[in-house]
C-alpha cells in the first residue's frame, strides 16, 4: 500500500468512483443494478473476429499516435453520415484508449489552474474528478427531476452567469438518460458562442436511446469537440482493461484493435 504522501496533492483531492462503490453494493439477489454503464449484450462477433485476425496478422506494433489512418477515416465517415458533421476527414479524428481517457486528455489540455469548467448536475462522476485533477474548478448547472433533467430556466440562468471557459455537455446523459432536444442544444451552444465558451460534447450514449433523437452540436457549431466511444455502442467496456492486462506492448498499440 502506498503512503498518502507519495501522491500529488491534486490526486488526494479525488474521491474513489462512486459508480464502483454502488455497483459492489448492488450485487445482491433481487437488486436491479443500474450503476455501471455496461450494455447487457456481448461484443458483436464481427469485432471479435477482426481483433483476433489483427493480432494473428501481427498488428501489435506502434500505430501513428492519432490512431491508424483507416480507422480515423472510417470514424470521420460515420460522423458525417450519422451525425451530419461535415468538413471532416481522418486528420480531425483522434483515436484513444476509450472515452474516459480522451476526455481526461481534453480536460487536461483545455483547463488549468484558475479555470472554471461547467458541468450539468447530476453528471457522470468522472467529470468532477478530471476537472479537479486539472487543478480547475467545477461549476454545476442545475437539471431538475421535475423537468425530466432537461435544461430549464435555472440551467440557462446559471449558464448565462458562469465564468466558465469550458462546458462539458452530455446528451444522452449519464446518469439521467435524458436526451436533449436539438432545440435545447442549439440554445446552449448559442449562449456558449456569445460567452466565448468552448464545449466538449460527450456523446458516448448516442445509440442507447429509448425516446427522442440524438443531436450532435458539431453539426452546426465549431466551438466543440465531439467525444464518442466504441465501449457502450459495441459493448466493449472491458476491452482496454483486458488487453492492457495481457501485455504492456499490446496496450501501447491497442487502438489497432479497439
Ligand atoms: C457519460 C460517460 N462518458 C464517458 C464514459 C467513458 O467511456 P469509456 O468506457 O469509453 O471510457 C462513460 C463511462 O461510463 C460515461 O458514462
Alpha helices in 123-246 (DSSP H): 125-133, 153-161, 182-194, 230-233, 239-246
**Inter-residue contact 99 to 229 (CB < 8 Å):** yes
Place of cell 492519432: 66
220 in a structural domain = yes
* Alpha carbon of 57 to ligand 1 centroid (Å): 30
Question: What does the pLDDT look like over 37-95, one tens digit per residue?
Answer: 889 899 999 999 999 999 999 999 999 999 999 999 999 999 999 999 988 889 999 99
Ligand 1, residues 39, 106, 168, 204: which to mutate, most atoms within 8 A of Cβ?
204
Is residue 253 scored above 60 in pLDDT? no
From the alpha carbon of 123, which atom of ligand 1 is closest?
1
Question: What does the pLDDT look like over 224-251, one tens digit per residue?
Answer: 999 999 999 999 998 986 665 554 444 3
Give the per-residue pLDDT at 243.
60
pTM for the whole thing? 0.90
Helical axes 125-133 vs 99-110, angle rounded to 10°: 40
117 lies in the same domain as 68 = no
179 lies in the same domain as 117 = yes
Count the domains in the chain: 2
103 lies in the same domain as 224 = yes
For residues 182-203, average pLDDT: 98
Give the domain extent around 253: 44-95+239-258
189 lies in the same domain as 78 = no
Give the per-residue pLDDT at 246.
54
109 lies in the same domain as 221 = yes
Give the per-residue pLDDT at 15.
79
168 lies in the same domain as 124 = yes
8 in a structural domain = no
73 lies in the same domain as 108 = no
CATH code: domain of residue 181: 3.40.640.10
Ligand 1, residues 35, 36, 43, 124: which to mutate, most atoms within 8 A of Cβ?
124
170 lies in the same domain as 158 = yes
Nearest C-alpha to atom 13 of ligand 1 is from which residue? 37
Amino acid at each position: 500500500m502506498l503512503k498518502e504522501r507519495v501522491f500529488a496533492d491534486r490526486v488526494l483531492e479525488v474521491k474513489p468512483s462512486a459508480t464502483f462503490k454502488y455497483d459492489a453494493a448492488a450485487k445482491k439477489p433481487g437488486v436491479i443494478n443500474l450503476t455501471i454503464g455496461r450494455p447487457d449484450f456481448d461484443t458483436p462477433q464481427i469485432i471479435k473476429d477482426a481483433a483476433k485476425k489483427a493480432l494473428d496478422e501481427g498488428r501489435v506494433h506502434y500505430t501513428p499516435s492519432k490512431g491508424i489512418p483507416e480507422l480515423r477515416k472510417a470514424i470521420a465517415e460515420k460522423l458525417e453520415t450519422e451525425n451530419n458533421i461535415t468538413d471532416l476527414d481522418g486528420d480531425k479524428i483522434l483515436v484513444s484508449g476509450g472515452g474516459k481517457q480522451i476526455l481526461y486528455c481534453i480536460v487536461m489540455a483545455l483547463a488549468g489552474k484558475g479555470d472554471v469548467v461547467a458541468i450539468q448536475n447530476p453528471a457522470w462522476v468522472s467529470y468532477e474528478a478530471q476537472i479537479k485533477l486539472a487543478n480547475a474548478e467545477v461549476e454545476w448547472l442545475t437539471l431538475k427531476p421535475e423537468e425530466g433533467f432537461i435544461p430549464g430556466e435555472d440551467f440557462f440562468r446559471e449558464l448565462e452567469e458562469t465564468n466558465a471557459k469550458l462546458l462539458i455537455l452530455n446528451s444522452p446523459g449519464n446518469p439521467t438518460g435524458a436526451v436533449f432536444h436539438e432545440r435545447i442544444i442549439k440554445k446552449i451552444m448559442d449562449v456558449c458562442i456569445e460567452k466565448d465558451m468552448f464545449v466538449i460534447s460527450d456523446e458516448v450514449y448516442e445509440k442507447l436511446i429509448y425516446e427522442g433523437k440524438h443531436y450532435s452540436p458539431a453539426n452546426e457549431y465549431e466551438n466543440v469537440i465531439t467525444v464518442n466511444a466504441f465501449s457502450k455502442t459495441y459493448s466493449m467496456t472491458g476491452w482496454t482493461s483486458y488487453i492492457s492486462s495481457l501485455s504492456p506492448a499490446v496496450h501501447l498499440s491497442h487502438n489497432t484493435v479497439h
